[in-house]
Structures are given as C-alpha cells and as structure tokens.
C-alpha cells in the first residue's frame, strides 16, 4: 500500500553518508510518518554489519520511535537503490562517499540514481544550517509547460509538512532584439516562451495552492539564467526542488544541464522529481 511505502536511504559507511543522508532521511521520515529503510550495497567479501548498525543507531537517535529496517544487497549501489526506488516514497543519498576520488565516486552514484529512479531523489548536500531547517524555506524551480508540474506538487507537500514558506522561482530571458523599454502589452515584454513570466507562475501554482491552502507562497520571476536564479535562492533555503524531464531512452538525459549544476553546487539538499 502507498501509505506504507518507506523512505529509502543509501548507506556506504562514510562519515558524510551518516552525518548527512541518514540524519536528513530520519527527520524526513518522521515528518511524513514513514518507515525508514537503510540500504547498504556491499561487494563480495565485504562486512556489511558495521555501516548498517551505525546508520540504524544514528537514525534511531535522530528520530526516536522511527520504524527502521535495513537491507544489504550484493550488487552495485546504483542498481540496488534504483530497484528499491520502484516501491519507495523517496530515495535519499549523500553528496560524497568513500574512495580515493571521494566526491566523484558517490557524486556519480547520486547523479545516476537521480537520473534513473522512478521516485523523487534527494541528494543531501550543504552546510548543517541548510540541512537542519534553519531557514524555514523551500525553493522550487518552475518551468513553462508541464515539465515541472510534479515538482511543484512535491514542493507544496514538503512545505506543508514542514510548515514553512515556499519560494517558487521562474527564470526567463527576453527574446533577442527586444527593446530596452518595451511598450506595455508589447510582445517584446514577453520572454521566449509563449506566456508572460508571472502567468507561468500563476498557472503552475494555482492547483497545488488550492490543495495546500496553509502554505505561504512567494512567487519570484527572475530575468536571467535559471541555474543562477535557483542557486541564489537555494543559498537561503532548506530544500531545493526541481523537476526532471521525461526519459528519452538513455539514462541521465532527463536531468539536463541545469540540474547537473544544481546537484553539484547548490548550498542545500536538492530533490529531483521525475516526470511520469
């Protein structure tokens, strides 16, 4: 049943994995009243008891009373997490991991999981103040069209359970050759999309706002690159939510350049919501 779907967190035994991913996942599972399932992908001959025990104890300390379970699949981390994600409320991974090329190693796992998972994926990154809910703010990136509809819905849900502000950001660029001061109502005042920026936000937010009337929403239109606008907003946020495009047959394509930048450089945890 959907109500019993767990929040799944990847554990690799590294300090960042424990301090960041497990702590964040334990708090989030408690907020959503979900069980937490810890997954440690262990290679042949590896002893899985240490990482799983440490992670379980840590999660229990962060959120006492949390329903916990664990699993040690004998396969690579990406395959294991993607498999569990088919029946998960969400997947949580840390931003760094073990190995000589620490940042690259788990970074590649996080990117692969975010690109291929069927459920939302949270890459836990940023400083302690960004991971602890200090800012009382969630940011969501809003695109024209339906690409980010599911991300907006999830962002409202997260803001609702956290009882915090939701900042909805839509970045746009004026068409080439636009006048410096376009007359009112002129098509020059529009961005390269079909609708004015404010209307893009209004249309995207209208439905979820009715379903979550308690969420305080701050719409924000920014002229300029989306990655800069979202990175700037995420600097004072507890979570950044973005959508991923429909799959085109090859893993990773739906993430897009902007999401790659955000997953590497955002100052707060990033949730990537796949488009169904």
Common-topology check for domains 7-124 and 131-269: yes
Domain boundaries, the chain: 7-124, 131-269
- Tell me, what DSSP letter sits at residue 219? E
pLDDT of residue 241: 98
Reported as a single tens digit per residue, the pLDDT across 143-186 is 987 778 999 999 999 999 999 999 999 998 865 454 455 455 44
Strand partners, 239: 138
- Grouping H, G, I as helix, E, B as strand and the rest as coil, residue 7 is strand
State the average pLDDT for the chain: 84
**Could you identify the residue written with the tokens 């209004």?**
202
pLDDT of residue 228: 96
pTM of the predicted model, to two decimals? 0.86
pLDDT of residue 24: 95
Query: What does the alpha-carbon distance between residue 55 and residue 134 come to, in Å, rounded to a whole number?
Result: 24
Inter-axis angle of helices 49-62 and 23-31, nearest 10:
50
- Burial class from Cβ neighbours inside 10 Å (0-12, 13-18, 19+) for residue 35 reads middle
Characterize the bridge pairing of strands 90-94 and 7-10: parallel
Q: Does domain 131-269 have CATH number 3.60.15.10?
A: no
Per-residue model confidence as pLDDT tens for the chain (276 residues): 345 799 999 987 666 666 789 999 999 999 999 999 999 887 666 666 678 888 999 999 999 999 999 998 888 888 999 999 999 999 999 886 444 333 433 467 788 898 889 999 999 998 889 998 999 999 999 998 777 899 999 999 999 999 999 999 999 886 545 445 545 544 444 444 467 999 999 999 999 999 999 999 999 999 999 999 999 999 999 999 999 875 555 544 468 888 988 998 999 999 999 987
- Tell me, what DSSP letter sits at residue 33? T
Q: Does domain 7-124 have CATH number 3.40.50.12370?
A: yes
């Amino acid at each position: 049943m959907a109500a019993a779907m767990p929040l799944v967190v990847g554990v690799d035994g590294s300090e960042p994995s424990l301090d960041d991913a497990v702590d964040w996942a334990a708090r989030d599972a408690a907020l959503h009243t979900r069980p937490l399932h810890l997954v440690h992908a262990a290679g042949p001959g590896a002893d899985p008891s240490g990482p799983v025990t440490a992670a379980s104890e840590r999660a229990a300390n962060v959120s006492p009373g949390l329903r916990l379970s664990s699993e040690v699949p004998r396969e690579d981390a990406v395959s294991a997490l993607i498999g569990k994600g088919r029946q998960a409320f969400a997947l949580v991974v840390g931003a760094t991991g073990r190995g000589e090329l620490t940042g690259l190693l788990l970074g590649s796992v996080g990117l692969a999981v975010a690109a291929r998972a069927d459920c939302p994926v949270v890459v836990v990154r940023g400083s302690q103040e960004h991971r602890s809910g200090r800012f009382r703010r969630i940011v969501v990136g809003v695109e024209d069209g339906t690409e980010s509809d599911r991300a907006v819905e999830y962002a409202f849900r997260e803001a609702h359970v956290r009882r915090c502000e939701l900042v909805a950001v839509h970045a746009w660029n004026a068409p080439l050759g636009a006048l410096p001061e376009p007359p009112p109502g002129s098509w020059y005042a529009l961005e390269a999309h079909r609708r004015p920026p404010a209307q893009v936000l209004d249309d995207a937010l209208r439905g979820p706002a009715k379903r979550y009337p308690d969420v305080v929403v701050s719409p924000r239109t920014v002229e300029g690159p989306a990655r800069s606008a979202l990175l700037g907003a995420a600097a004072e946020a507890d979570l950044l939510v973005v959508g991923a495009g429909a799959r085109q047959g090859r893993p990773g394509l739906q993430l897009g350049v902007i999401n790659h930048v955000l997953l590497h450089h955002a100052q707060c945890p990033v949730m990537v919501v796949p488009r169904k």
